[in-house]
A and B are shown apart, each in its own frame.
Chain A
Amino acid sequence: MMLPFNLEPLSDSRYFISNLAGFHRVVARETLELLAEQGDGVLDAGIKQDLARGLFLADSSAGEEAGVAALASGYARRLTRDLAFRPTFMIVPTLRCDHTCRYCQVSRAALGAAHSDYDLDARRIPQVIDLIARLGTAPYKLEIQGGEPLVRFDLVQAIYDEAEARLGATDFEVVITTSLSLLDDTILDWARGRRVVFSTSVDGTEVVHNRNRILPGDNAYQRVKRGIRAIQRQLGPDRVAAVTTVTKDLLAHPEALIEASQELGLTELFVRPVSPYGFAQKSGTGTYSFDDYMAFYDRLLSLIIAHEAAGGQLLSEYSGKIHLQRVFQPDFNGYADLKSPSGFLLDCVLINYDGKVFGSDEARMLQRVNPELDLSCGTVDHFDPAANPVYHKILKESLNAVHPGCEQCAYQPFCGTDPCQGISEQGEPVGDKSRSAFCQYHKRMFSYLIDRYYRDPEARSVMESWCHA
């Protein structure tokens, strides 16, 4: 007796099937044809047993009842886990930035712009940390965003000091998202004894990086290279990580990324397509197809496999890793994009330089390019998501199991929703999934990774190392 499941074709004649509880199998098309035509009575005993273990089949009406209960319980468990409110608290001390990047996601303000217009008022910092203490639980995760936050290193220090006093010296961690252009010995000395890590961007080789990340009068790549090396040397290799935004310039040269990682001593890559938000979208740097992106990703993975086979140190790729962890590690839900209901507000509270609070970094980006909308959930003095009907609508409509286009998808139990991306692209949070960049990207990533995992033993071994590292 069959229990409900969804299916997606892989590159050969096999299909990926999954159910609401989040179990999956890869089966031949003939198996599905047999099930559809004649039911499970004609299946090979081994296949039947395996499918029953994954709650795809039940062996009797009593078994069907137990199967329904088990699927429902598994789905309810996933839902309640994803509903938990465990936000990362993002703080934007300034929107001013020393770079003029071509695809800047959030826009920026010029370095010389008025502080009063684009910087957080230092007198608000106790209220910021008070809000975090009221909303969160230890261990708190704080992420300092920008602009370029090190433009106002004094505010970063003040935020840390206030957090230390109010949240407890060992009960929080701070990630500073920075280009590292302003990193100096003063900042390194300060960070040494504190719970601080740096997240930066490396977009490939010097030529590619500098083409997009423009530092007027200086060399952005050399700056980030010096910064990464200084952090590794003085604070340790685990205190810095890098994200790569894949631009058209990098698409044809994935090997440049491996070379850059080698040169910089980074063992984890984190690649992602150009953001479809606001200013990045308008700049035109993101105009490549997902076919192009996946061809790039395919070559990158092959290069990582070849690098390891040649005796090189294992390089992991974080985007691939989180997609795989969602499929193979049922309790993994640590990535806000791949959650249903969406991680909007549940995984992120962003406190902007002007005191406004948002449910995600993407919401503040949308706000910048759509000033006529109010996408905030109050201010640092008066946090009240319930007062803005947009929040109610976004949260209510962020359950992908009932979205048209998702309800039939076999990747739905592992995927998520990004309502802000829906609003940005199509003017409403759910949208047409067939035209959604979020759907095209994540569906292709799941499909590609699973296909390669089950058909290429070398790739599988590397992917397993990523997941268990």
Chain B
Amino acid sequence: MRYLDKERYSEWVVRQALYWLTPTTRWRLDETENQWAVALDDDSYSAQAELDRLLNDFLLRERIGRRTETTRSAIADAVIRSIQQRLSES
């Protein structure tokens, strides 16, 4: 069983990492008040290392995503306007 501190790892990060861990091993996610409890069917070093790599990458994505969250919605709105304009011109 692998325990991950909830203060460090958000649910989004843990679930994203486990989603991409599926080709490597089956997994089960439980939680306590302060921790995520991750059980891997394949508990080998390579499976654990893959989980660590994914957790690190999704932590980075989360931190970068937080800085650009509002801009993403602004782009989505602008894309719809731009497509409507292109379609009305064609």
- Which residues from A are CB-within-8-Å of B20? 405, 434
Q: Are A73 and B71 in contact (CB under 8 A)?
A: no
- Which residues from B are CB-within-8-Å of A440? 23
Which among B2-10, B37-45, B57-65 touches the partner chain?
B57-65
Closest CB in chain B relative to A216 CB, distance in Å = 39
In the bound complex, what is the Cα–Cα distance between A440 and B24 (angstroms)? 12
In the bound complex, what is the Cα–Cα distance between A71 and B75 (angstroms)? 7
B79 contacts chain A at the CB level, 8 A cutoff = yes
Which A residues from 60 to 93 make CB contacts under 8 A with B?
64, 67-69, 71-73, 75-77, 79-80
A3 contacts chain B at the CB level, 8 A cutoff = yes
Which of the residues B21, B60, B82 comes within 8 Å of A73, measured between beta carbons?
B82
**Which size bracket describes the interface of A in this complex?**
20 to 34
**Given A3-B71, A405-B19; A9-B64 close (CB under 8 Å):** no
Q: Are B60 and A36 in contact (CB under 8 A)?
A: yes
- Which residues from B are CB-within-8-Å of A80? 83, 86-87
A408 contacts chain B at the CB level, 8 A cutoff = yes
Which B residues from 53 to 76 make CB contacts under 8 A with A?
53, 57, 60-61, 63-65, 67-68, 71-72, 74-75
Q: Mark A4-41, 1 if CB is under 8 A from B, else 0.
A: 11110100000000001000000001001101110100
In the bound complex, what is the Cα–Cα distance between A37 and B67 (angstroms)? 10
- Which residues from A are CB-within-8-Å of B64? 2, 5, 7, 32, 35-36
B22 contacts chain A at the CB level, 8 A cutoff = yes
Q: Are B16 and A68 in contact (CB under 8 A)?
A: no
A458 contacts chain B at the CB level, 8 A cutoff = no
Q: Are A432 and B22 in contact (CB under 8 A)?
A: yes
Total number of B residues with any Cβ neighbor in A under 8 Å? 26
Q: Are B79 and A79 in contact (CB under 8 A)?
A: yes
Which of the residues A36, A69, A79 comes within 8 Å of B78, measured between beta carbons?
A69
Is chain B's interface secondary structure helix, strand, loop, or mixed overall? helix
Q: Are B83 and A79 in contact (CB under 8 A)?
A: yes
Q: Are A33 and B68 in contact (CB under 8 A)?
A: no
In the bound complex, what is the Cα–Cα distance between A77 and B53 (angstroms)? 35
Which of the residues B22, B61, B79, B83 comes within 8 Å of A408, measured between beta carbons?
B61
- Which residues from A are CB-within-8-Å of B61? 6-7, 408
Q: Are A435 and B23 in contact (CB under 8 A)?
A: yes
In the bound complex, what is the Cα–Cα distance between A75 and B53 (angstroms)? 30
Q: Are A72 and B60 in contact (CB under 8 A)?
A: no
Q: Are A72 and B75 in contact (CB under 8 A)?
A: yes
In the bound complex, what is the Cα–Cα distance between A466 and B78 (angstroms)? 36
- Which residues from B are CB-within-8-Å of A32? 60, 64
Closest CB in chain B relative to A319 CB, distance in Å = 21
Q: Are A7 and B60 in contact (CB under 8 A)?
A: yes
In the bound complex, what is the Cα–Cα distance between A207 and B35 (angstroms)? 57
- Which residues from B are CB-within-8-Å of A77? 86
Q: Are B79 and A2 in contact (CB under 8 A)?
A: no
- Which residues from A are CB-within-8-Å of B87? 80
Q: Are A75 and B67 in contact (CB under 8 A)?
A: no
- Which residues from B are CB-within-8-Å of A408? 16, 61
Q: Are A76 and B79 in contact (CB under 8 A)?
A: yes
- Which residues from B are CB-within-8-Å of A76? 79, 82-83, 86
Closest CB in chain B relative to A86 CB, distance in Å = 14
Q: Are B86 and A75 in contact (CB under 8 A)?
A: no
Q: Are A4 and B22 in contact (CB under 8 A)?
A: no
**Given A32-B60, A36-B60, A76-B86; A2-B67 close (CB under 8 Å):** yes
In the bound complex, what is the Cα–Cα distance between A32 and B19 (angstroms)? 23
In the bound complex, what is the Cα–Cα distance between A73 and B53 (angstroms)? 34
Which of the residues B57, B63, B75, B78 comes within 8 Å of A4, measured between beta carbons?
B75
- Which residues from B are CB-within-8-Å of A33? 60
Closest CB in chain A relative to B80 CB, distance in Å = 8
- Chain B residue with the shortest CB-CB distance to A37: B63
Closest CB in chain B relative to A437 CB, distance in Å = 10
Which of the residues A9, A35, A36, A72 comes within 8 Å of B82, measured between beta carbons?
A72
- Which residues from B are CB-within-8-Å of A432? 19, 22
In the bound complex, what is the Cα–Cα distance between A33 and B64 (angstroms)? 9
- Chain A residue with the shortest CB-CB distance to B66: A36
In the bound complex, what is the Cα–Cα distance between A440 and B72 (angstroms)? 27
- Chain B residue with the shortest CB-CB distance to A69: B78
- Which residues from B are CB-within-8-Å of A9? 53, 57
Which B residues from 17 to 34 make CB contacts under 8 A with A?
19-23
A-B contact pairs, 18 of them (CB 8 A): A3-B71, A4-B68, A4-B72, A9-B57, A20-B75, A20-B79, A29-B60, A32-B64, A33-B60, A35-B67, A68-B74, A68-B75, A69-B78, A72-B79, A80-B87, A434-B19, A435-B22, A435-B23
User: Which residues of B are in contact with A by a Cβ distance under 8 Å?
Assistant: 16, 19-23, 53, 57, 60-61, 63-65, 67-68, 71-72, 74-75, 78-79, 81-83, 86-87
A-B pairs with lowest CB-CB distance, top 8: A72-B78, A76-B82, A36-B63, A4-B68, A434-B22, A72-B79, A4-B72, A76-B83
